[in-house]
Structure 1
Amino acid sequence: MVRVATFFGMTFGAFLFWESMDKVHVWIALHQDEKQERMERELEIKKMQAELIAQAKESES
């Protein structure tokens, strides 16, 4: 009986471990996606700033 209870306990523990690892994996993937989107937005802003600076220099001359 102790062996059966130990088996079920370990099986349940393994199940909880894998479920928590799945949630951690999803959180990491979402975090990386958000970081990538933020970097793309910042790059787009820098490009627009460079274009506006170039236009301002052209209009000054």
Structure 2
Amino acid sequence: MVKVATFFGMTFGAFLFWQTMDKVHVWIALHQDEKKERMEKEIEIRRMREELYREQKEKDSLA
């Protein structure tokens, strides 16, 4: 009886551990995706700002 209860307890503990690890991996992956998207947006904003600055500089030099 003790062996059965121990086996059940260890099996249940392993199940909980793997479920928790799965959730942790999903959470990490989502945050990495969010970070990547945020960095891509910042790069795009920087690129647009440089382009607008360049256009303004050309406009000022022509005037």
Q: Which bin holds the TM-score, normalised by the shorter protein?
A: over 0.9
Structure 1: unaligned runs, 5 residues or longer: none
Cα RMSD (Å): 0.4
CA drift at 1:54: 0.2
Runs of 4+ in 1 over 2 A off after TM superposition: none
The question of 1:9 aligning with 2:4 is answered no
Equivalents in 2 of 1:56, 1:4: separation in Å? Answer: 78
The percentage of aligned residue pairs carrying the same residue is 74
State the number of aligned residues. Answer: 61
* Secondary structure at 2:18 match in 1: helix
Structure 2: unaligned runs, 5 residues or longer: none
Corresponding residue for 1:23? 23
TM-score, normalised on structure 1? Answer: 0.98
Corresponding residue for 1:57? 57
